[in-house]
Amino acid sequence: MSNSSDADVISLRGEKVGYSVAVVGLGTTGGHIIKQLLATSVESRPARICLIDKRPERVSTAAAVIRAANSAALVQSGGLSSGQVAITVGQADDPADAFHSSHIAILATDCGSHAALAIDALRSGCHVVSMSDRPEEVDDLLVLDSLARHHERSLVVGAGMAPGLSCLLARFAGNQLDSVLAINVAKAGTAGPACARQHHRALKSSGRDWVGHRWEYRRGGSGRDLAWFPEPIGPRDCYRGALPSPILLQRQYPDAQRISARVSATRRDRFTSRLPMLRKPHQDGGPGAIRVEVRGRRDGAVETIVLAVAAFPSESAAAVSVEAAQSVLAGMAAHGAHGLASWPDPGAVLSELRRRGVAIFTFGDDRFRSEAG
Partner 1 sequence: MLMLARRVVAALSFAGLTAALFRLRGQGGVAQQQGGWRELTDVELIGR
Summarize as ranges the residues that interact with partner 1 (CB under 8 A). 172, 175, 230-231, 307-308, 345, 347-348, 350-351, 354, 359-365, 368-369, 371-373
Cα 250 from chain centroid (whole Å)? 18
Shorter beta-carbon distance to partner 1: residue 51 or 349: 349
Q: Provide the minimum distance between the beta carbon of 230 and partner 1 in the complex, in angstroms, as a whole number.
A: 4
Q: Provide the minimum distance between the beta carbon of 58 and partner 1 in the complex, in angstroms, as a whole number.
A: 34
What are the two backbone dihedrals, phi and then psi, of residue 56, each rounded to the nearest 5 degrees? -60, -35
Q: Provide the minimum distance between the beta carbon of 368 and partner 1 in the complex, in angstroms, as a whole number.
A: 4
Question: In this structure, what is the dihedral angle of CA atoms 357, 358, 362, 368, given to the nearest 10 degrees?
Answer: -70
Among candidates 292, 293, 71, which has minimal Cα distance to 161? Answer: 292
Q: Tell me if 340 sits within 8 A of 171, measured CB to CB.
A: yes
CA distance 224 to 269: 13
Shorter beta-carbon distance to partner 1: residue 206 or 362: 362
CA distance 182 to 294: 6
Q: Amino acid identity of 51?
A: L
Shorter beta-carbon distance to partner 1: residue 106 or 340: 340
Shorter beta-carbon distance to partner 1: residue 275 or 372: 372
The conformation of residue 164, written as its DSSP 8-state character, comes to B
Strands (E) located in 60-178: 88-91, 104-107, 127-130, 154-156
CA distance 363 to 80: 49
CA distance 373 to 363: 18
